[in-house]
Amino acid sequence: MANPQLFQSTRGRALPVADGRNHEGAPAYAFSPKHRLAQYAATGCLNGTFYAGAEAQLATILDLCREVEPRFIAKTAVYCRERGYMKDIPALLAAVLTLRGPEFLPQVFDRVVGNGRMLRNFVQILRSGAVGRKSLGTRPKKLVQHWLNQASEKDLLNAAVGNAPSLVDVVKMVHPKPAEPWREAFFAWLIGKPYDAAALPPITQAFEAWKRDPGGEPPEVPFQMLTALNLDTKQWARIARCSGWQMVRMNLNTFARHGVFAMEGMAEVVADKLRDPAAIARAKVFPYQLLAAYRSVGQGVPAQVREALQQAMETALANVPELAGRVVVCPDVSGSMRSPVTGQRGSATTSVRCVDVAALVAAALLRKNPETRVLPFETDVVSVALDARATVLANAERLAAVGGGGTNCSAPLALLNREKARADLVVFVSDNQSWVDAVRHGATATLKEWEIFRQRNPEARLVCIDIQPYGTTQAAERGDILNIGGFSDEVFKVLAAFAAGQLTAAHWAGVIEEMVL
């Protein structure tokens, strides 16, 4: 008789054997090249994470681009820019297309390079040689020239903020041939050549005049062009009134230091701007950016402004779906989730960690679906008291304050199975680097527990939301299992579509495939 411990009969379908290893060396399921590229595009910021350095991420992305067809690279670039609000990787993928799929570059360029920062990112990546070329080449050069010759004065002024390369470098590199006198004067002014002052566009003229006589209100130029100058409180208040939503969010403490909130009515002005739904939508804000702003505000920022940040969070999460049936959400609160969500960036490293994003997703689902059960986990499930009526930020802070141990993705499912619990949708938010429950052979512990859960809940679905680009999962993709990456509100749209049975068999990669170029 064969060893009954090795060859015991099991109920249900045969489960796939784990075909990969995660960064802890534990068994996992490897994503397909398309899925891996989509995951990197939606979660990678080309900065060092808990398990992978920036150079390793770049090498992986370039390798994946060699494995998939150029059309999918193009669609991924557009998807992660327009729906995932990413910056560096869409520019990188557009740069890859200059060699791998130049026929798609014109269709992608205008949708990826929507502002001056993205233009400079694209040029920087090409000139670095990272994608296999160090010059722009004819077609990319013409696209950059076209952008410069079509951009508005405000777009050009915003593009002039930043270095490596600066807009001056870009203009000198591509030599745009402007058709309008104002644009010709602007480029000459920008690069320090003689220009016709009377031909300068109005905002630039006002800026030059104000530099000569800095009395009264400053012109409506980008915030960074003014901050090095000696401004009084009224001028700082003017900046607060005129700056864009993102700029105001990032400079609340600066305004407080310069006495802006001490001026009558200015706290209301700033609070109204922060909570404005249309401005929030235009800013394409990540919910975690609002968490960062809320955490960083000092004592000089009035309570009504802090309250406006909480209201902005509720607005930014408007796409969180109302889900039918019983929902369980499982945020990973293990030690590896303490790393910055956008990676290590030196002095620019965000204070928001992966665990904060996981907690935000869980708190948002709880807020919109009050009967949701929340099971945070590390080595085991962690008990934490939440209030469905509390703000998203309040519950997120409670969740992020617990945990810190090893990663055991199967723990919440094992608990549900012990309880013989019923549910229609289970959502994990994790980096998927489970190792506490590692098995020696066969399927992962997570997939085994999910199969037991499905025998009791045959219509249930499992969603695994990745927030770090590590390329593996603990639950292999199939009809009832969705693996998706990202931390924008687009994640909630895909989750809702999957829960309602509206995705194709290709799931998340299929969402990207459906992008129209």
CA angle (316 as vertex; 332, 392 as ends), nearest 5 = 50
Is there a contact between 115 and 106 (Cβ–Cβ < 8 Å)? no
What's the CATH number where 419 sits?
3.40.50.410
Phi and psi of 295, rounded to 5°? -70, -30
Alpha carbon distance 331, 317 (integer Å): 17
Alpha carbon distance 439, 445 (integer Å): 7
Among 517, 511, 360, 396, smallest CA distance to 39 is for: 511
Question: In which domain, by residue range, is 421 found?
Answer: 20-29+323-513
**Element containing residue 103 per DSSP (H, E):** none
DSSP string of 297-340, one letter each residue: --TTS-HHHHHHHHHHHHHHTTTPPPPPS-EEEEEB-SGGGGSB
Strands 27-30 and 20-21 turn out to be antiparallel
Is there a contact between 109 and 82 (Cβ–Cβ < 8 Å)? no
DSSP string of 8-72, one letter each residue: ---SSSPPPPP-EE-TTS-EEEEPPHHHHHHHHHHH--SSB-SS--HHHHHHHHHHHHHHS-HHH
Q: Is the peptide bond before 165 cis (omega within 30 degrees of 0)?
A: yes
Q: Using CA of residue 190, residue 196, residue 198, residue 201, what is the dihedral sign?
A: negative
Residue 513 structure tokens: 């495939």
Average pLDDT along the chain, 517 residues, taken 10 residues at a time: 50 80 92 92 77 83 95 96 90 96 95 94 94 92 97 95 92 95 97 95 93 80 81 89 89 94 96 94 83 88 94 86 93 92 73 88 91 96 92 90 94 98 96 92 94 96 92 93 87 90 86 91
298 dihedral zone (left: phi>0; alpha: psi -120 to 50; beta): beta
Residue 388 lies in a domain: yes
Residue 447 lies in a domain: yes
Alpha carbon distance 307, 301 (integer Å): 10
Is there a contact between 486 and 43 (Cβ–Cβ < 8 Å)? yes
Residue 65 structure tokens: 């681009």
Residue 263 lies in a domain: no
104 dihedral zone (left: phi>0; alpha: psi -120 to 50; beta): alpha
State the total domains in the chain: 1
How much is the pLDDT for 2?
A: 56
Residue 362 lies in a domain: yes
Residue 358 lies in a domain: yes
For residue 371, what are the CA distances in angstroms to 193, 243, 324, 389, 419? 65, 40, 10, 11, 17
How much is the pLDDT for 13?
A: 64
**Element containing residue 373 per DSSP (H, E):** strand 373-374
Residue 349 lies in a domain: yes
Among 162, 161, 190, smallest CA distance to 178 is for: 190
Residue 119 lies in a domain: no
Residue 420 lies in a domain: yes
Is there a contact between 78 and 517 (Cβ–Cβ < 8 Å)? yes
